[in-house]
Structure formats: structure tokens, C-alpha cells
Amino acid sequence: MTQKAPVAQKKPGTRAEAALRAFHEESAFGKAYDTRLARRLWPYMRPYQFWLWLSIVLGLVMAGMGLLRPYLMRITIDQGASAKDPKVLFWGGLSFAAVVLVEQVLNFVQVYAVQISGARALADLRRDAFGHLQSLRLGFFDKQPVGRLVTRVTNDIDAILELFASGALNAVVDLVKLVGIVIVMVGLDWRLSLVGFAAAPVVALLVQLVRRKSRDAFRAIRAKTAEMNANMNEQVSGMAVVQAFCREERAAHEFDVINSAYRDANIASIKYEAVQDAAIEMVTSVCLASIIVALGYHPVSFGTVVAFNAYLLMFFEPISALAQRYTLLQSAMAGAERVFGLLDLEEFDAPKSTDAASAVPAGEAAFSFDHVTFEYKPGVPVLEDVTFRVKKGEKIAVVGPTGAGKTTLASVLLRLYDVSSGVVRVDGADVRSLDRTELRSRFAVVPQDVFLFPGTVLSNVAVGDPTPDRARVEQALRRIDALDLFQRRPGGLDARVDERGENFSAGERQLIAFARALYRDAPIIMLDEATASVDSDTEARVQRALDELMKGRTALIIAHRLSTVRAADRILGFQRGRLVEEGTHSELLRKGGLYAKLHRLHFARQDEAALERASAE
Amino acid sequence: MTSHAPTSPPRLPTTLLGQLRRQSPRFAVGLVLLATYQYGQYWFDTNLSIAIDAAVAGKKEIAAHIGALLIGVALSTLIIRVLSRMAVFNAGRIAEYELRKALLDQLQRLGPAFYRKKSTGDIMSRATNDLGQVRLLLGFGALNSMNTVFALASALAVTLRISGRLTVAALSTLPVLFVAMWGFSRAMFSRQRENQDAIGQMSAAVQSSISGVRVVRSFSLEEEEIRRFSITNADYLEKTLGLARLRGLMFPVMQAITAVGAIIVLWYGGRLMLGDELTPGNFMAFFRALSRLTWPLISLGFLTSIVQRGRAAFSRLEEVFDAEPDIVDGPLPAPLRVAGHLEVRGLSFSYGDHRILDGVSFDVAPGKLVAIVGRTGSGKSTLAALLPRLQPTPRGTVFLDGVDVCDLPLSAVRGSIGYAQQSAFLFSTTVGRNIGYCFDDPDGTVAMDSVRGAAKDAQIAEEIDLLPDGFDTIVGERGVQLSGGQKQRVALARAFLASRRVLVLDDPLSAVDSRTERAIIDVIEARRERQSVLLVTHRVAAAARCDEVLVLDAGRIVERGTHEELIGRRGLYAAFAEEQRVESELEALSGPATFAGEAVPA
């Protein structure tokens, strides 16, 4: 078995592998430099360009001072030697110290300035990317894995940030410095310079040779790291499956293939990095030795030798950093491309404000549907020619089999999706003419599957309120008779809510959602009753809470319980996207249509006693 | 097919000392190479001094001769230096590789007792961050602790020969450098952690805002979400800049301290040179030796943190390595042939004080189909997971062909009792590879044929063909690209293909419509000679097709018999049957057009 697997791995062209490659293509590297992307980044840099320019200017100043240092050394040594005067040495040493001190202070300012410009600009880009996500229409999120979108805002932007943090942008200054060093050295003594630089082509060749391999190793490491973590993460989350199918050995083998590839890529990179480091050291030593050999035939001052040594060190250092910088640039560009790709999406949500100042004919209708048809997929209508009106303060129960389009009613009322034809009106105004926030602020929605945000019970009840009003939260919970339930928990209202509210039961989540709706105090309540069974104590609380919630409001309830249906003023029966009947409980029972059937089949079992009372009426 | 649990491969050392010992040949080679390298440096500096003095004195032949030797030495130290890094750093990487491998093996051995306590995120953080710290200790840490000793010896050998007093003067700044670096490294590690925490918080904010996008939109929380995000964004910015300040400060401080040393040499050494106590060659050699010491001392400053962190990280890894697996192989060998007679005798099971199952007994004879029916929370799923020992099955309660499953190797139990669960976990690979999970080479032609066959049996083949890449469509993380019902059927196909003698299906069709369910039950019936099935279900229509129905309520079997018998008894089962007859009529009302609504976001 262990023999078979590597073969399976290496077989180049199975379609499954091609598909997998295409899926993971995200990790591929792009071009190293793309003018279009750089131009798009610029508006983000512009407000902080002062820091950017400062860092460049300081970089140049520092390059100059760096060039000055060995020169100072030379003067000090040579003049001290000829004057035989310790005073010269003292002043020379002092000025050297001054240069170093200023240089290091500037160095700090320079490094920090470039980071300020980068980090601030990218924080702005991050804000825009996140804000853009908040403005995209809901349909967009139906197709996108959450993790990928999170990556856009975090890792992809961090890849660009790395350019600033790593000092890769110093490459330009380094180039100036290299040229400076050559000029100074040639100026000092051109023949000795020739000897010194004789090794340069060898270094260039060596670095070039190693650079590509080192870059490949670096890329392999990055790709393998991601693959390895994904594989282990998946094995850990799906461990029950691995164990149930006895696939431990095979899974371990699969992991081992990635794990060894990761190790080997690292080992390769160790070799190349070591060669690069050592090569620079070797070359400076070789150059120094050659200069000394030359010194015998071509005497220069000792100070010059010291200065040459220092310049040579300075010369070869940035060359070794080049390969890594290139790779950083590439991954930054790839990150930028993905982030701007997101920002270019124009699938917008309903607009924030609309020009059509809605002249609201404030009638008695809270909302109405006028020949509304809606489809998620073209040709498959979920709502078809639906027309009804709901008066202010009216309580409407919506009933019908699964897939009849009940939940969609809420989505189009809030304009989370736009209808295909017909008009949805709220307070007499077409929802398309209303400001999105204004429209949605009239509703409090309780979905079937309640979503809780990470935070506390308090922050979840007062969701959307930057300063939660504890008294009002308590009041909301008290009104639905759930305050004690949450206060009993350790931490009370400040009890932590984990991701997606996993540490709360379905019933408790439901109650939090009710309290959320009460806290919001919107005129219209829309509620999708939970079908999930909860324990009977919570169930009773949920029932009482519902009555409290509807008090004095317009309510649209997708009902699964007889008690809810019976408490409604009017019942709408939906079937296959169509409104097939409406009326009160007893009217519809008498009519003997869909509701009567639903009632007989479904609700009857829930509460037989209630049914008996109902038919006695 | 695979037969052994992962106990068979020789276990790799999982202690720090064990790994140190295992990598000791590499460390030994590294030690020798580093010593040689530093000796080479010593030789270079000493002879450089002679060569310079010779050149200054005009003895060009001697200078040229020594110069040529120096070039030779420089070239060979290059090779030695490269080899020394490779020896020691490779040891760190190999140790990391082995520890990671051992970690996964251990994770595969561990059972539900461990996974209940530790989240995936927690485990992953140990496998990445903590393991990284350990590698740093075994690679970078080991190299620098060895190198620093030799570098000190080699540099001092050069400088002390030139001038003891100058050495003392020049080295006076080194303790400062060491202390500064020690402080920086501590601050650096904590800032880096803060930085990681900040980005973690930011990711969490984005994550919850996108997962809860429906609520965000319905409640118009966009502004509030942006505000909340801005707080984390600003915090991350601040932490990034904090780290930048520290990093920005570290290098200049380091340089400044080093420069002070250089100035001392320049000034004091220069004076000595003027007094002819020092030759120019001595001066140059001294300078070089001193600069060679800078980096080893800087790393020494980091070393204390690296050791401290590496050990702390290792103790977190040990929590995993030392965790006792709660489900282990039994002492008996795997049976040669499995008939597949499953018996359950007086099975009781509790989570803490909460009793889940209470004295459950039944038989699944080869070729039989048995259904277990019950409400949510009746203990059905726990029962199903106990049979293949995916939960800690109590001894003497579950028997396979008359042998206690606790006495058998796990691979034999799970190789005979297949299991598929309601919330199907799919791997983020292709549909085909998910179904062919039991194959070593799921892309082969033979495997692909079986995969297609199993997909047909699970009534999913046609839908797979409609996917963009058919069987090569990637299902996404945990199968997000598929609907709930599709996921369940892919998992069912996967379970069919594993062809165990007994198949335990834990409500595998809860998101599948009744027509498809009927077709799947037909297949199960047709396969019964090959595979007996224990079907845990809440659907009476499926249970009706089984030879025996057991009704589970609050952990006890309250009714048992055939479907007809139970209906006649007018108990709990009959009540379920009535409820569901009603539901199926409802389903008929909704009709096929809207049933496609399975995948519709609502």
C-alpha cells in the first residue's frame, strides 16, 4: 500500500488532480510588478505620502552617511599616523561616533516612517474592503465560502503590508548606495578597486544561480505550509470519519507526503540560504586577501585598506537580500490583485438613500404585496403573483408546506432580494424608493435559525447598539420572562457567547432573538417559528414570550404551532409560491381548503384539547 | 485494504531529550564543523595580520604567498560554514518533521474524550505555533549555543594575543549588547503575540460579520459592524506599529552599541598603534575578530527566550502526546472471517451524570435489516456510535460473532462495522475522492467504476453528473458546495463502498426527500445478503421496510417487533406513524417543483 500511494500522487494528469489544482490556484504567485496595481494602491498611500517621502529622503541621507563612515576612518587613521598625534585620533573617533549616532537615530525614524505610511494606508484599504463587503447584495454571499472572504480582508492585505515591514522598499535606496560605494572606491584608488571588485562577477553569478532555487524553495515552503495545515485541520475536524473508515494509516501516509515535502523544501532553503550568507562572507574575505596581495605591489595608506574592507562589507550585504525581496514583491502583488478584485465587484445591495423622496400616503396598511413574483434562479419562481395587504397592528400567520415560499416573503419585504415583478410596499411606499436603513429599521426579524454574534448575552440582545442599555436589555428579557434563565448562568448577562452561539441551546438562542426584537422596538415583527424541538420548559417560555412580543405591533409569523395560528387575526395559506387562501382560523376551517387540510393533518396532533375547544366554538 | 491501527510503525521519540538524542549525530557533525570553521577564522585573522604587516613593510612575496593561502582558507571556510548550518538546521527541521508525524499519529489514536476537551483551533495552534517554537530551539537555538562558545574562543585567541588591555576595552560594550538583546527578544516575543492576537480578533470580526450577513442586513447593522471592525482594525494597526517601533529600535541600538566598541578600538587601538605597541596588521585582525563576535552575542541574547519558549511550547505538545487514548485495541487477534452477527446485551451508557442509554439489548443477524426509531435526544445517535467503538463502548455489551468488540483490534471492529452519520463530514476534495475514500488510489479506473456504482446506489449519481465538473467537482470545505441532502448521499455512497459486513446508518436520510429515500431503501434491501444494516431513523416509512423495529425512548427500548405488530400495538411507534403520514401528505402538497428548494438560500 505504501508503494502504491506515491504513484497515485505523481500521476500527472488525473482529472481530479487538475480540478484540485485549479481550486488551490489561489496560492499561485503573480507578476512581481504590475503598474496597474501600483496605480490603484497609490490613492491609499497618498494621504500618508509625507512619511513615504520622508523615509526615502532619510534613506538617501543615511546612504550618504554610511558612505562617509569608512572615509572618516581612513582620514583618522592616516592623519593620526602621519601626525603621530593622539588628538587626531580622539577627534576622529568623536566625529565617527557622531555620524554613527545620527545615522542610527535616522535609521529608526526611516524604518518607522515607512511602516507608518504602509500600515496606515493598508488599514484604510482594509476598512474599504470590509465596507465593500457590507455593501454587496445578499445573493453574493450565497456563493462564496466565508473563509475566502475573510482572507481578502486579512492575509491578502498582510501580504502587501509585508513589503513595508520587511524593508523591501529600501531596495531603491540600496541601489543608490551601491553606486555610491563604487564611485567612492574608484575615487579612492581605482586600481585597488579593480582588485576588490574582481570577485563581484563571481558573486553575481553565484547569487543568481542560488537565487532562483532559493525562490522556488521559498514558494514551495509557502504552498506546503498551507497544504499541510489544511490537511491536518481537516483530519482533526473529521477524525471520526477517519477512524470509522480505518483510514488512519492512509491518512497518515497522505500527510506524510506533504510533511516530508515541507521538510525537504525547508532543507533545500537552508542550503541555499547558507550558501548565500557564506558566499558574501567568503567574498569579502577573498577581496580583502586580494587587496593585501596587491598592497605589496601597489602601496597605499593603511587607512585606505581599512576603508576598503568596510566598503566591501557594505557592498555585498544588500545583494544577498535581493532574492527574498523579489518574492515578497510577488506575493504582495498577488494579494493586491485579489483585494482589488473584490473591490471591483459591483453586485450592490439596495441603495443607502434614494432620491425619490417617498411621498408616503400614510394609509392604514403597514405593508402590502402587489402581484409580486420572485425567483432566485431564473425560471424557477419561488413567489408567483402574490397579492395581499396587512393593516397596522394586524397579526398575520403564514402557513403552508415546506418550500411554499414563506421565508422568501420576509427577504423581499426587507429588500434583501429584489422582486422580479410586482411591487412590495411598506407604509404605502415602494420598498425600492426607500432608504435601505430606513426601510429595515421598521422591522424586527426573528429567523428560524438564530444567529448570535460572538460577544455577550447583553451585546447580542442590544445588537447594533454601540452602547448597550443594560436596563432595557433586562426589561426586554423580563418581558419575555427569560431574565432569570440568563441571570442563572455564570456571568449572567455578561456571559460569553461563542462563535455562532454554540454554547447556547436552540431554545435559549430563540429567546435571545425575541429579546433582540423587543429591544429594537420596531413597529413590524417578522418571525419564522423554529421547528426544532426544544425542551419543554423552554418551549413554554418561548410560547409566552411570543405573545408578549406581538403585543401592539404588526406581525407576520411563519407559523408551525397551532397556538400561534389561532392567535393570529388572519391566516395566509401558501402553496408552491402562490397565495391560495386567506381568512380567519374558523373561516378557513369552514372553507375546507388547504388550511383545513393542513390543520387536520398537522396542527391537530399538537394540541388535541385545543382542537376540541376550537370545534366547540 | 488497510488492516492495522497506526500502532504498528516504530514510535518516534516524543520527548525533547529523545529528539536531541535522536538528532545527536547531526549535532555532533555540526559541532565539529563549527569548531573547524571558527578555527579557520582564527587562522585567517592571525595570518591576515602577518600579511598586512609584510605588505606594509614591502615584503611583497611573503604578502602574496600568505594572501594566496588566505584566499584558499576563505574558500574552504565557505564550504565548512554551509555544511555546519545544514547539519544543525536540518536536524531542527527533521526533528520538527518527526514530531509532527508523531503528533498526527497520536491524534489518530485519541478518541472522543480528547476531542471533547480540545477544539480544532487549539490542536492546530499546538501543531503550528508550538511546534515552530520547538524547531527554533532545536535548530537556531542549538546552532547558536554551540557557535557562540567557539566564536568567543576563536575571537579571544586573536585579540588576547594582540593586546589584553585592548580586548578588555573593546569587550566592555558586549555585556551591554547582550543585555539589550535579551530585553529586546523578550519584548519582541510578547509584541509578536499581541500582534497575532490582534489579527485573530480582526479575523473573528470579519468572520462573524460574514457568517451572520443575513442578520446584519435585516437589522441594518452595517454601520455597527463597520464600527466594530474599525476598532479591531485600529487595534491591529496600533500593534503593527508597536512591533515596528520595537524592530526599528532594535537594529539601531544594536548598531550603536557595536559602533561604540568600534570607536574604542579605533581610538585606543590607534593610540597603541602610534606608540608602536600595535602593528597595522594587528589592528586590522583585531577589528575583524571583534566584528565576528557581534552576531553570536546578539543571538545569545535571543537564546534565553528561545529556550524558555521552546520548553513551554514543548510542554503544550506533551499534553497531546501524553493524553491517554480512551478507545484502544483489544488483546485478541483479528478474526479471519467475519460473519457479521452483531449482538448488544444490556448496554448502558452515561455522559457524566447524564444517562443516555439504559439496558439496551438486541441482535442484528447477518442479512437482517433492523431499524431503531426514536425522538431527538432518545439516545439513538449515541447507540449508533457505540457499536463500531467510536465512543467508549462498555466492556461486555457489544459482541461481534460472539466476541466482545472491546477484545478485538479496533481495525477489525471498524473493518466489520461500517458507520455513516447524519451530519456527514466530507473532505474538501472532489466528490469522487470523497466517495472513494476507502480506496488507496481513488482515481484509478477500477476505483472510478465502483465510485460511480456506489453513487448510483445512493441515488446521487445523476445529480453529480449535473455538477460543473461531475465527479471531479470540488465539494469545498466540509462540503459547502453541496446541499444537505447531497452531502448525506455522498456520505452514504462512501459508506456503501467500504462494504463492511454490518452497516450502521445514523439517520443518513434526514435531508433526503421520501421518493429518493424509498429508492435507497430498495438498494439496501437488495444488498442485504452482503451487508446487514442497522438503520437509525426518525422516519417510519424507512423503518417499515426493516425486519425488526426497535423504539428507543429516553435511552430504553420501549417497543420492538415488526412494523405491522407495532402499528397494531398503538403505542409510541404508532403515534410516530400517524404524525408522519400527515407529513408525507404535506410533502405531496408542496409538489416536486418546490422541492428543488432544498438548495435555495432562505
Binned at pLDDT 50, 70 and 90, residue B591 comes out as very low
Identify whether the C-beta of residue A434 lies closer than 8 Å to the C-beta of residue A441: no
DSSP state of B361: E
pLDDT at A555: 92
CA of B343 to nearest chain A CA: how many angstroms apart? 19
CA of A483 to nearest chain B CA: how many angstroms apart? 23
Distance of CA B169 to the CA centre of its chain: 52
Choose from A561-570, B34-43, B165-174, B272-281 the range with maximum mean pLDDT. Answer: B34-43
> Would you call A119 and B244 a contact, using CB atoms and an 8 Å cutoff?
yes
On whether any CB of chain A is under 8 Å from the CB of B351, the answer is no
pLDDT at A369: 93
**Separation between Cα atoms, residue A71 and residue A50, nearest integer Å:** 32
Q: What are the chain B neighbours of A403 within 8 Å (beta carbons)? A: 590, 594-595, 597, 600
> Would you call A295 and B55 a contact, using CB atoms and an 8 Å cutoff?
yes
- Please report which helix (H) or strand (E) contains residue A525, including its range: strand A524-528
Q: Which three cell numbers stand for residue B507?
A: 439517520
Torsion angle (degrees, nearest 10) of CA A231, A235, A241, A245: 70
On whether any CB of chain A is under 8 Å from the CB of B425, the answer is yes
Taking one residue from A and the other from B, the number of pairs with CB-CB distance under 8 angstroms is 454
Secondary structure (H, E, C), B333-352: CCCCCCCCCEEEEEEEEEEC
pLDDT higher than threshold 80 for residue A301: yes
Average pLDDT score, chain B: 86
Q: Which three cell numbers stand for residue B431?
A: 466528490
Test mutation, A130, A154, A300, A301, chain B, max B CBs within 10 A? A130
CA of A269 to nearest chain B CA: how many angstroms apart? 10
Q: What is the mean pLDDT of residues B401-409?
A: 93
On whether any CB of chain A is under 8 Å from the CB of B197, the answer is no
Specify the range with the lowest mean pLDDT, choosing from A24-33, A570-579, B418-427, B479-488. Answer: A24-33
Binned at pLDDT 50, 70 and 90, residue A354 comes out as low
pLDDT at B596: 34
pLDDT at A559: 80
Q: What are the chain A neighbours of B216 within 8 Å (beta carbons)? A: 134
- Nearest CB partner across the interface for B6, out of A7, A248, A400: A248
pLDDT digits (tens, 9 = 90+) for B552-581: 988 899 999 999 999 998 888 888 888 777
Termini Cα distance of chain A: 75
Neighbour count for residue B172 (Cβ, 10 Å) = 12
pLDDT at B8: 45
CA of B373 to nearest chain A CA: how many angstroms apart? 16
Rounded to a whole number of angstroms, the CA Rg of chain A reads 36
Helices (H) and strands (E) in chain B, counts: 23, 10
Closest CA to A24 of B287, B476, B367: B476
pLDDT higher than threshold 90 for residue A288: no
Binned at pLDDT 50, 70 and 90, residue A12 comes out as very low
Q: Which residues of B453-475 are buried (b: 16+ CB within 10 A; e: fewer)?
A: ebbebbbbbebbeebebbbbbbb
> Would you call A146 and B207 a contact, using CB atoms and an 8 Å cutoff?
yes
Q: Which three cell numbers stand for residue A71?
A: 572615509
CA of B98 to nearest chain A CA: how many angstroms apart? 9
CA of A550 to nearest chain B CA: how many angstroms apart? 18
> Would you call A451 and B214 a contact, using CB atoms and an 8 Å cutoff?
yes
Neighbour count for residue A617 (Cβ, 10 Å) = 6
pLDDT at B234: 95
Specify the range with the lowest mean pLDDT, choosing from A29-38, B167-176, B571-580. Answer: A29-38
Specify the range with the lowest mean pLDDT, choosing from A126-130, A145-149, A508-512, B70-74. Answer: A145-149
A366: amino acid identity, one letter: A
Distance of CA A5 to the CA centre of its chain: 36
pLDDT at B381: 85
- Nearest CB partner across the interface for B210, out of A133, A241, A444: A133
> Would you call A86 and B425 a contact, using CB atoms and an 8 Å cutoff?
no
pLDDT digits (tens, 9 = 90+) for B311-332: 889 999 999 999 999 899 999 9
Q: Is B445 exposed, middle or buried (CB count within 10 Å of its CB: 0-12, 13-18, 19+)?
A: exposed
DSSP state of B111: -
Residue corresponding to grid cell 374558523: A586
pLDDT digits (tens, 9 = 90+) for B408-441: 999 999 999 999 887 778 888 889 999 999 888 8
> Would you call A376 and B601 a contact, using CB atoms and an 8 Å cutoff?
yes
Binned at pLDDT 50, 70 and 90, residue B511 comes out as confident
pLDDT at A606: 53
Q: What are the chain B neighbours of A251 within 8 Å (beta carbons)? A: 108
pLDDT higher than threshold 90 for residue A80: no
Binned at pLDDT 50, 70 and 90, residue A2 comes out as very low
**Cα distances (Å, whole numbers) of residue B289 to A196, B164, B171, B275, B283:** 21, 14, 11, 22, 10
Closest CA to B165 of B304, B299, B278: B278
> Would you call A14 and B216 a contact, using CB atoms and an 8 Å cutoff?
no
**Cα distances (Å, whole numbers) of residue A285 to A272, B39, B45, B85, B291:** 20, 15, 10, 19, 13
Helix (H, G, I), strand (E, B) or coil at B570: coil
A210: amino acid identity, one letter: V
On whether any CB of chain B is under 8 Å from the CB of A178, the answer is no
pLDDT higher than threshold 50 for residue A439: yes
> Would you call A464 and B469 a contact, using CB atoms and an 8 Å cutoff?
no
Identify whether the C-beta of residue A343 lies closer than 8 Å to the C-beta of residue A371: no
Question: Could you give phi then psi for residue B342, rounded to 5 degrees?
Answer: -105, 125
**Separation between Cα atoms, residue B249 and residue A111, nearest integer Å:** 9
Specify the range with the lowest mean pLDDT, choosing from A41-50, A320-329, B453-462, B566-575. Answer: A320-329
pLDDT at A403: 66
Helix (H, G, I), strand (E, B) or coil at B363: strand
**Separation between Cα atoms, residue A213 and residue B516, nearest integer Å:** 55
Binned at pLDDT 50, 70 and 90, residue B597 comes out as very low
**Pairing state of beta strands B548-553 and B369-374?**
parallel
On whether any CB of chain A is under 8 Å from the CB of B51, the answer is yes
On whether any CB of chain B is under 8 Å from the CB of A577, the answer is yes
